[in-house]
Chains A and B, each alone.
Chain A
Amino acid sequence: MRDTRRTSKAPLTTLTGKDMRKAALVILIVLVLFDLVVKHHEVFGIDGTFGFVAWFGALACFCLILLALAVGSLLRAPESTYDD
């Protein structure tokens, strides 16, 4: 029983290794390069520029994480807070 689980798990651990990280990096670069080919409907000026969505997505996520950390540092409480 225990053995089967271990074997079924093995491929997953190898996949999350260095190879996978390299592959992901390649995908990211290719995705940005596609901006040279695909035409966006420019609505507000900035949104049609090269790689806009890519850096915006990263930045938005970064800001949201910072916001979450700020909220967390202010409002995190132990689970027993409301136990009366």
Chain B
Amino acid sequence: MTTSLLTSPASALLVGALALLFTRGIAHKIILLGFPVLALILVFHAPTGSVTANYLGYALTPIRADALALLFGAVFALAAFLGALFALDRSSTLELSSALVYAAGALGVVFAGDWITLFVWWEIMAIASTLIVVCGGEKAYRPAFRYALVHFLGGVLLMAGIAGEIAMSGNTTITSLKPDSWPRWLILAGLLVNAGAPPFWAWVSDAYPASSWSGMVFLSVFTTKTAAYVLMRAFPGVEGLIWIGLVMAVYGIVYAALENDIRRLLAFVIVSQMGIKVAGVGIGTPLALNGVAAHSAAAVIYTALLVMVAGSVMRQTGKTRMSDLGSLAAAMPLTAFACMIGALAIAAFPLTSGFVSKSMIVDAAAKQHLPGVWIALLAVSAGVVLHAGLRLPWLVFFGAPKPRIAAGDPPQSMRIAMALAAVLCMVIGIVPDGLYVMLPHQVTYVPYTASHVLVQLQLLSFAALTFYLMRDLLKPQPGITLDLDWLYRRPGAWLACGFDDLTAGAWTRLVSGINSKAAWLHDLLVTHHGPTGTFGRTWPTGTMAFWTTFLLGAFLLIAALG
């Protein structure tokens, strides 16, 4: 058992993270690239079935390798490799080491067979990802802190839920649950915080853009997708998730359409894409779940690709605002090309990975006779042109020429990483069977029918037409769009200040209040005593002694009455 725990992909990455801290130069780079590859190999050599252990008298299953776990494990290991390759030039050892720990956490969650193990890895992810945000530099400190707070809140909700669930059902294994008791609601809430669901979705667009050009690649891959994964395992077919997912999808599109900063825009895109997956989990049929699994796998790659593109632009030009960018295609041809592939994939254009995966979810809604959901998913698919599908590549790489920016394509390692990701997007789109065999449910699905292709082409081209006609209304403008985080960043802060004053005064007032009551009693009983209000003054020892007497009396009174 011990050996299989040590050779689990997650533990391997933890070892790699540790090794990174103590190496320099070429060894450093080899470790950075080698351990994700090792993890990928280990995923495919994971012990079939499950490994069990014991903790606090509960049977734990640190490793459960079934089809779904293997798919996500492979994709995460692959993404860790791509991210590491992209970040090869990055000098922050803390960020790279945290990235490997973060990937380890994600793999740990994927292979966890019980809630307790899952939770430990979940928290490791939260800590490691916070550190990645922190590595974005001085301006990232406050967003990182808010990020940490939201994730700890999610963690606490999850912990309470898990504890309650175990206490009530005695079962630690992760199985499909119905939210019919408060612990299960808490678990669901904890998962949704990480999935970027309302009302806590603002952490994505708050923290991710604060990270470094390389850090956001890792961030975009793991947290939200593991949440989708656990939701698939624990809450398939919970109807409310459909509506939460659709709200997320629309929110992401609307905010991305208004956004000026390319990396914030991508953060909204991530939420929007998550929305489609969450809705798919809510539909819950085998086809829908297959769709969610496939779409998560595809999304990991194309989102990472788009984030890499944004990272390259940020690194090469030092700018992230679209109002400062434009016509970069000539200067950064390969980056522009990668961006277009990513855009096509996210728009689910035929022959890309997005097409072969997203259509499964949309079809599942149709097969399940959910017309409203189907229509909404179609609309959301059309809305993609408003963000990464068209708006982002248009404004950054083509669009109106801006004052010329002296920049070229990024260094070789970054170019290779983007090229690899772009190739993967196409390969999956052209030969989807490789992905389909790894899906958890046995469903035969043919993506390339004339009808499917035509629907998608019509949808996208006419949406693009609308966007083209109305493009001037969505010009990038400086500024931000207020989000739900306003609630805790503004009134929250005022409230905290007010509360501060309140509590500082409250104790004194409470004590003096009680003291003045006592003084009144005292005047009543011993009228000949000197100046009044002797009790009214706050004397800690006197007050303490008074409280002591009070408690003594209360105790006796309760005893006498009881």
Kindly state the separation between the CA atoms of A51 and B461 in the bound complex, as whole angstroms.
12
Kindly state the separation between the CA atoms of A40 and B533 in the bound complex, as whole angstroms.
89
Q: Could you say which residues of chain A place their CB within 8 Å of the CB of B460? A: 57
Other-chain residue from B331, B383, B461, B493 in contact with A5 (beta carbon distance below 8 A): B331
- A65/B459 contact (C-beta < 8 A), A31-B454, A71-B254, A72-B258 known: no
A75–B482 contact, CB under 8 A?
yes
Is A39 close to B, CB under 8 A?
yes
B479–A79 contact, CB under 8 A?
yes
Is B481 close to A, CB under 8 A?
yes
Is B26 close to A, CB under 8 A?
no
Contacts of B295-328 to chain A: CB distance below 8 A: 327
A43–B366 contact, CB under 8 A?
yes
Is A38 close to B, CB under 8 A?
yes
A55–B462 contact, CB under 8 A?
yes
Give the number of residue pairs across the A-B interface with Cβ within 8 Å: 142
Nearest 3 A/B pairs, CB to CB: A60-B379, A61-B463, A57-B459
Contacts of B199-249 to chain A: CB distance below 8 A: none
B258–A76 contact, CB under 8 A?
yes
Chain B contact residue count (CB 8 A cutoff): 51
- A53/B371 contact (C-beta < 8 A), A58-B463, A58-B466, A72-B258 known: no
Q: Could you say which residues of chain B place their CB within 8 Å of the CB of A39? A: 451
Q: Which partner residue on chain A sits nearest B365 by CB separation?
A: A43
Interface range, A side: 35 or more
Q: Could you say which residues of chain A place their CB within 8 Å of the CB of B374? A: 43-44, 47
Sampled A-B contacts (28; CB under 8 Å): A5-B404, A24-B465, A27-B461, A28-B462, A40-B455, A43-B369, A43-B371, A44-B371, A54-B462, A56-B378, A57-B382, A58-B466, A60-B382, A61-B466, A61-B467, A64-B250, A65-B466, A67-B254, A68-B474, A71-B258, A71-B481, A72-B481, A75-B482, A76-B258, A76-B480, A76-B482, A81-B480, A82-B490
- A28/B463 contact (C-beta < 8 A), A12-B330, A79-B478 known: no
A12–B398 contact, CB under 8 A?
yes
A61–B386 contact, CB under 8 A?
yes
Q: Which partner residue on chain A sits nearest B367 by CB separation?
A: A43
A38–B479 contact, CB under 8 A?
no
- A sample of 17 more A-B contacts (CB under 8 A), given A64-B250, A64-B382, is A5-B404, A8-B330, A31-B461, A38-B451, A38-B454, A56-B379, A57-B460, A58-B465, A61-B385, A65-B473, A68-B258, A68-B474, A71-B255, A72-B258, A77-B481, A79-B480, A81-B482
